[in-house]
Amino acid sequence: MRILGIETSCDETGVALYDSEKGIIAEALYSQVELHAEYGGVVPELASRDHVRKLLPLIEEVMTQAKCTSAEIDAIAYTSGPGLVGALMVGAAVAKSLAFAWGVPSVPVHHMEGHLLAPLLEDPSPEAPFIALLVSGGHTQLVNVTSIGHYDILGESLDDAAGEAFDKTAKMLGLGYPGGPALAVAAEGGNPDRFRFPRPMVDRPGLDFSFSGLKTFTLNTRDDCAAAPGGLTEQDVADIAWAFQDAVVDTLMLKCRRALKETGAKRLVVAGGVSANRLLRQKLAEMVLKQRAEVFYPQLRYCTDNGAMIAYAGYQRMLAGAESDLKVQVRARWPL
């Protein structure tokens, strides 16, 4: 089976072709980062317009790369939510139109299921059951995956997602956009002994998260530094970035450990943009070693948004008997 995957939920136009025997055989990704950088965040209308410009050329590129004709495609999978409605509409409309023209089904995919299944494209790939930590710009969730398609949310963020907290904190520190990678780089020069930020919600039972308090903590620390003689220095920024990243990563690690202990699971899967974070990977590696468990990630380019994870999730949806109709339906909010 060959599935074409289309991702347009935010600021990445991703297209990929998944072959059930060979894996991902072609892919193309266009990032709108430069387009949004001057605004310090994603501008939804600009995102939609850019998806309109880039999507069809990317599809052509992928089909050419794979030397594949439309007759060899069995289904078209597209992200139908959650995400920016206008951006989602572009992917959905193109997917549905092509599917109609090619006489194949179109398969709506939940963006977070795409992230969750991305590590299964790797070798070795984790077998269900496992615990998944989904950490992106829009979500922070711990999910008990009993089998593909069966997901129980064990905990989630009650306010900001981890990636969102990284982005907002980076903006506060003048580190630019996208904030997560920029903050991680700034933190490398930070002094670990200068500030210690709280680990939100770790002292009470449960697996939910809260990151908005850390933002306030960052703001106050930044303002204290700025009020000192000499104002806010580059070293202050690095030290604050270090303390912030340490607190977020520690909190994520502690909750993953709790989820493994409470469920008895021995496999942890981590996906979504923040799973690219080096410190997070290091701390989780140390933790799973002590718990006699294993941790799995997507390769770096599949941590952030991409078409491959949507093609693969679409394949799994097809196996589960997904059916499509011609209504273009997208959802800005959509529980997993």
Instruction: Provide the binding-site residues for ligand KG4, judged by CB under 6 A.
Output: 10, 136-138, 163-164, 166-167, 178-181, 184, 272-274, 276-277, 304-305
Nearer to ligand KG4, 33 or 319 (CB): 33
Nearer to ligand KG4, 144 or 304 (CB): 304
Would the annotation count 191 as a binding residue? Answer: no
Chain-centroid distance, C-alpha 204 = 27
**Shortest separation between residue 304's beta carbon and Zn ion, angstroms:** 7
Would the annotation count 264 as a binding residue? Answer: no
What are the structure tokens assigned to 261, written together? 């202990």
- Picked from ligand KG4, Zn ion, none, the partner binding residue 166 (CB below 5 to 8 A depending on kind) is ligand KG4
**Shortest separation between residue 134's beta carbon and Zn ion, angstroms:** 9
**Shortest separation between residue 115's beta carbon and ligand KG4, angstroms:** 6
What are the structure tokens assigned to 85, written together? 């409605």
Would the annotation count 109 as a binding residue? Answer: no
Nearer to ligand KG4, 32 or 277 (CB): 277
- Picked from Zn ion, ligand KG4, none, the partner binding residue 184 (CB below 5 to 8 A depending on kind) is ligand KG4
Residues of this chain that interact with Zn ion (CB under 5 A) are 136, 305
**Shortest separation between residue 87's beta carbon and ligand KG4, angstroms:** 11
- Picked from Zn ion, ligand KG4, none, the partner binding residue 86 (CB below 5 to 8 A depending on kind) is none
Would the annotation count 305 as a binding residue? Answer: yes
Would the annotation count 138 as a binding residue? Answer: yes
Q: How far apart are CA 248 and CA 163, in angstroms?
A: 10
Would the annotation count 306 as a binding residue? Answer: no
Residue 335: is the preceding peptide bond cis (ω within 30°)? no
**Shortest separation between residue 247's beta carbon and ligand KG4, angstroms:** 13
- For helices 179-187 and 234-263, the axis angle rounded to 10 degrees is 110
Nearer to Zn ion, 111 or 168 (CB): 111
Nearer to Zn ion, 113 or 246 (CB): 113
Nearer to ligand KG4, 86 or 272 (CB): 272
Residue ranges of the binding site for Fe cation: 111, 115, 305
Q: Please state the residue numbers annotated as binding site for substrate.
A: 134-138, 167, 180, 277
